[in-house]
Structures are given as C-alpha cells and as structure tokens.
Homo-oligomer: A and B are copies of this chain.
C-alpha cells in the first residue's frame, strides 16, 4: 500500500530491461540511439503519459527528475509574466517544489517573493500581484485534493500563470490538463505509474505556449539540431525544447514496459474502485483502531488515492506494519499513509491490512525496540 511512494514491479519490466541491456546496449552500442528508438523515448513516453492526463500529443516530454522539471516550468512561467514578482504556493506543496522555487528566485535575484499560504486560503490569495500559482494537486501527506478547474480559472482570470504538480495524481485520479487550461504541469512516474526507483519525470506545456518558451536549462537535446554541434543554442520546435541532457535509457525502458499495464484502463472506473477501497479501509480502521484519527478529507471527492491517519508513535507503528507485511509510509511528524491502487489491491488486501493494524495497536506490538530506531529514509 505504498504505491503513492514507489509502485510495485510490473511483471513485464524485467524482460524488457533485459532486452534493453543485452539486445540494445550490449549488441547495438551507439546504434541503439537510432535503431532501438532510444532518442525518441522521451517524447514517445510523453505521449503515452499525456494521453492519461488529457494532454494533446506532442505536449509532454520525459526526463530528469521532478525537481528539475519544477525549475524549468517555474522559470518559463515567470518569463511569461515578467511584470509580476510573486510566486504563490501553499504549505501542502511538496517541500522539494518549494525548495526549487527558493533556489530559482535566489538565482534570479530580482526581488521575487515566494508566498506560501494554507491550502484553503489559496483562492483568496490569488491577487493581481501574483505572477505564478504553483500547487501540488494532491497533498502528499493528507491526500487532500485541490479543485484544479476552479483554481486554474480564478488564477487565469487574474492574469496568473498556473503550474500543477501531478506527482500524486498521474495514474491515481482522472485529470484533464487540456480542459483545465493550465499552462504547465509536471509529475513523476515512480508512484502510481510504477516506473521504478528513480524513474524519469515529465513536463507538460500548453501547446499554444511551447514555442514562446525560452528554456532556462538549455541543454544539448533541447537544441533544434543536436547533432549539428553548433556553438549557439537554438531551441527545438515544440516540447522537445524542454529536454536537457542524455535520457536515462534503462529507466525509460522500465517505465515503457510499466505503462503497458495501463492500456485499456478506464481512469473513471479505476477511480471508483480506488474510492471503494479507501472507504472500506477508513471504516475498518475507525472501527478497530479508536486511537487513530483520520487526517484525510472524509469526502472521497476531496481527496486523491491515498488516506492518512494521525498516529502518536506513527514511525514505530509503520515499522511494525512493514514488519508484518503491510508497506505504507510514515510522514513527519505523526502521519501513517496508505495508497489505494485497484490495479493490484483488492478488498481482501484491505481487510487484511486493517486486521494487522488493529492487532498492532491493540497488542502494542509497535513498542518493540526494533521499531524505534529511525532509518535515514522514512
């Protein structure tokens, strides 16, 4: 139940990765860039993911990490709104997004302000001095989900450029970037899309804007003619200009195979099943674990595909859960977090997880000394 942190290994991945290693890298060497289609993977996979998120073909590209894609999107967004100086975000945003914004604003050194407000106060802070609204659609801790349509509309009515981080949305809830009208989106592929540890990130740019973007991270593979080796940067036409350096082919191959799982999946059906699983989990936990408090919105329409409970000694409780075969996450200071992904979880799994959690709480199994020491990664 940690698909919201790192999706499990899809069955097709090992075979595909072995092919890429032996038949492509091993046998083709540099010929793989053309003959195995390596060079086109970032846009080909971009289209596959874009199709799940309501993005037009040719408006999404893969590469780098989500933090890098946040930097690219924010730098481009600020350039589209050069006369304003405020970046508006909320304290439910993933910290790395805020850190990258801080680094970019320091680098720019032009008096920009990062204004971070409570999630429920975002709407009232969309004012005419705001250049960019940058939000994560679904809160990584509580699963609270912003109203993408309403906030995007309010922002654009005030002349604000919008960036959505879809880290916890892609593969979890229906998203329609095209209908939202937002200028940018970014996201990762190792959570609900099961791309594996360190899978590449993606960036979406609204098609009518792409050719106006002057990339801050203007790398070789975003050049109009990478193999002409010109000394001056000329951005590629279209979404290719958001590419930077050499794509990580092994990670891309794993992700490509993982995406096969999604062929023919209806996001609406998946969403309904995910809500059914999470509702079942919430009522089970509330019935059997009276000391735990729901930290996610009770209305399933207001949360993503994850549920968190406030839990004193949450770190130790999660360690005990993992020890007993239920893998979720702990998020400081006191949240235990679970993801609900109907592609590989069913109601039997949910009932079993509730049983184990109930036993850990009832019998104080989390008090075992071995669950108290914190590891580097929580």
State which of B66, B96, B218 has its C-beta within 8 Å of the C-beta of A103. Answer: B218
In the complex formed, the residue of B with least CB distance to A322 is B31
- Asked whether A233 is an interface residue with its Cβ less than 8 Å from the other chain, the reply is yes
- Asked whether A8 is an interface residue with its Cβ less than 8 Å from the other chain, the reply is yes
**In chain A, residues 181-229, which have Cβ atoms closer than 8 Å to a Cβ of chain B?**
188, 190, 196-201, 214-223, 227-229
Task: List the B side residues contacting A2 at CB < 8 Å.
Answer: 29-30
- Asked whether A91 is an interface residue with its Cβ less than 8 Å from the other chain, the reply is yes
Contact with B along A87-114 (1 / 0, CB 8 A): 0000100111011101110111110000
- Whether A67 pairs with B245 at a CB distance below 8 angstroms is yes
- Asked whether A58 is an interface residue with its Cβ less than 8 Å from the other chain, the reply is no
Complex CA gap A137/B378 in Å reads 41
- Whether B220 pairs with A332 at a CB distance below 8 angstroms is no
**In chain A, residues 145-175, which have Cβ atoms closer than 8 Å to a Cβ of chain B?**
none
- Asked whether A292 is an interface residue with its Cβ less than 8 Å from the other chain, the reply is no
Complex CA gap A332/B231 in Å reads 12
In the complex formed, the residue of B with least CB distance to A197 is B249
- Asked whether A13 is an interface residue with its Cβ less than 8 Å from the other chain, the reply is yes
- Asked whether A33 is an interface residue with its Cβ less than 8 Å from the other chain, the reply is yes
- Asked whether A329 is an interface residue with its Cβ less than 8 Å from the other chain, the reply is yes
In the complex formed, the residue of B with least CB distance to A41 is B198
Taken together, the copies of this chain in the complex come to 2
Task: List the B side residues contacting A266 at CB < 8 Å.
Answer: none
Task: List the B side residues contacting A26 at CB < 8 Å.
Answer: 8-9
**In chain A, residues 25-80, which have Cβ atoms closer than 8 Å to a Cβ of chain B?**
25-26, 29-34, 38-40, 64-68, 71, 75
Task: List the B side residues contacting A227 at CB < 8 Å.
Answer: 332, 376-378
State which of B6, B29, B40 has its C-beta within 8 Å of the C-beta of A30. Answer: B6
Known: A22-B14, A229-B332, A378-B227. A65 touches B196 (CB 8 A): no
For the complex of A and B, 7 pairs with smallest distance between CB atoms: A65-B245, A103-B218, A96-B220, A198-B248, A67-B219, A197-B249, A67-B245
Residues in A lying within 8 Å of B, measured CB to CB: 2, 5-6, 8-9, 13-14, 17-18, 21-22, 24-26, 29-34, 38-40, 64-68, 71, 75, 91, 94-96, 98-100, 102-104, 106-110, 116, 141, 188, 190, 196-201, 214-223, 227-233, 244-252, 254, 322, 327, 329, 331-332, 375-378
